[in-house]
Amino acid sequence: MKTLSKMNDKDRIPLNCSIDDILGGGVEKGIITQFYGPPGIGKTNIVLNLVVNCSKDGKKAIFVDTEGGLSIERVKQISGSEFQKVAGNIIIFEPTTFREQDEVLKRIEKMLESDEEVEILILDSAVALYRLREGDLSQINQELGRQMGLLLRIARKHDIAVVITNHVYSSFEGEGIIEPVGGTILKYRSKIMVELARGNLGGERYAILKRHRSRPEGLRTSFRIVNEGLE
């Protein structure tokens, strides 16, 4: 128990681009933030920027790569002359099945009991292996729900930023509205949600704030992916 006067605003990890403006300074610790959008929109580039910025400050980052999207060359481009320093602070997990993903998250929880230097945990993507899982759908959804509950527990207990990326589908019942995969399972656990969409100009992309605990929904900003990261 503690009084409100002893509670501080959550620290944030910046992306060092315009997306920080709609997030209030960056990605918050202690909660789950979700970035979702179509393939090739920049989800992995966004989380790699977060990983690099965190690692440059001497903190550790955990990157769970479920799609083989982690490129060493891309990390080198973003981190520049600080690559060696950054590389030593990034811990990689590469599950190939949904069951392995579950085991990896449990292993990470145990690891964090003795490692207080981790500042951010990335799950890129949360649903790639879930969509390949065969079996009873209700059981699979229960497993996904348990994983998201575990991530939220990790975020709150260890006060680290947990960021997940997610795919989308077109909801015909909603007149073609783009929806993130996982439905209420991921939506319920994600306190901040950002939709990524393509702009009209070549290479331009938009980030739209869909959910936030303290900022107006609907805030949007444009950004581009460049060699050095995001601008």
Strand locations in the chain (E): 12-13, 27-28, 32-36, 60-65, 90-93, 118-124, 161-166, 168-171, 177-180, 190-198, 205-211, 220-223, 225-226, 229-230
DSSP label at 214?
S
* Separation CA 82–CA 17 (nearest Å): 19
Split the chain (231 residues) into runs of 10 and give each run's mean pLDDT.
49 93 96 94 95 92 93 95 94 95 96 90 92 80 94 96 90 66 86 93 90 94 93 87
Convert the pLDDT of each residue in 170-189 to its tens digit: 766 555 577 888 778 888 89
Domains of the chain: 9-230 (3.40.50.300)
The CA-based angle 105-58-166, given to 5 degrees, is 35
- Whether the pTM exceeds 0.85: the reply is yes
* Separation CA 229–CA 101 (nearest Å): 27
* Separation CA 162–CA 190 (nearest Å): 9
